[in-house]
Amino acid sequence: MSKLSFDRILQTQGFGTRKYCRELIDDGEVSVNGEVIQSYKTTIETDGLIFSIFDEEWTYHEHLYIALNKPANFECSRKPSHHPGVLTLLPEQFSWRDVQPVGRLDHDTTGMLLMSDDGPFIHAQSSPKRHIPKVYVATTAEPVSDELVQQLLSGVQLHDEPELLAAKICRQLGTHQLEIILEQGKYHQVKRMLAAAGNHCAALNRSAIGQLTLDSLGLAEGEWCYLAPEQIALLAPDNQ
């Protein structure tokens, strides 16, 4: 439990500089439960706080934990070069909070992308030492064969990796589709493994991280949601 002045609350939530947040309050643009905040010095308990700016409601979050259903042709970079960045799909103030993608998906890869402004969370989720399974659905250019599935399960050699890389689980979903579960998280891993096994990745979607599935979130492409504590718990590698 903590109390903060309202200009500080708005600043921590990404609504601008301390000076700009004070101006918003002085202009009568900030309210709680329909009552306009009269002074930026007003302190209030942040736990469960819901406030309005320009008549739009926001809930106070000490840290942001977000899941995005990433569409194709968006880059997981704060400084995109060839396509729009994924941050353009989120409210503008999230950029002020230094929200970052947790790991990366290629610009043409779709599906679940975690984003946060919590540094330790980002580090923990990105660390290969945690062996967090990530589930991908790969559409292949050539038909899927039993031999391809076995190769991916046994391991394939990538030119810049000292050891074979293998899928934790690999199963055929259709004539040109595979479900592949990986724990390593190497650069372009699914695409490179398929190429090394003699096929080619035509499309790729990440459908789950840990035990948290994209289907359970009900997000259309381009949509995002806050993650509740129980959903965050599903991201743990040892979750049963």
Cα separations in angstroms, 223 against 87, 170, 217, 230, 238: 12, 28, 10, 20, 28
Report the alpha-carbon distance of residue 76 to residue 109 in Å, rounded: 10
pLDDT of residue 73: 93
Torsion from C-alpha of 127, 128, 131, 132, nearest 10 degrees? 50
pLDDT of residue 237: 76
pLDDT of residue 12: 94
Q: Where are the domains of the chain?
A: 3-59, 65-128+212-233, 133-209
Record: fold of 65-128+212-233: Alpha-Beta Plaits (3.30.70)
Burial of 57 (0-12, 13-18, 19+ CB in 10 A): exposed
- DSSP letter (8 states) at residue 214: H
Burial of 120 (0-12, 13-18, 19+ CB in 10 A): exposed
Record: fold of 133-209: Pseudouridine synthase (3.30.2350)
Q: Would you give per-residue pLDDT tens digits along the chain (240 residues)?
A: 588 999 999 999 999 999 999 999 999 999 999 899 999 998 999 999 999 999 899 999 999 999 999 999 999 877 767 888 899 999 999 989 999 999 889 889 999 999 999 999 999 998 877 889 999 999 999 999 999 999 999 998 888 878 888 999 999 999 999 999 998 877 888 999 999 999 999 999 999 999 999 999 999 999 999 999 999 999 987 544
Catalytic, out of 26, 106, 108, 118: 106
pLDDT of residue 240: 42
Whether residue 106 lies in the annotated active site:
yes
Report the alpha-carbon distance of residue 117 to residue 202 in Å, rounded: 33
- Domain boundaries 3-59, corresponding CATH code: 3.10.290.10
The domains spanning 3-59 and 133-209 adopt the same CATH topology: no
pLDDT of residue 1: 58
- Which residues does residue 36 pair with via DSSP β-bridges, in sequence order? 31
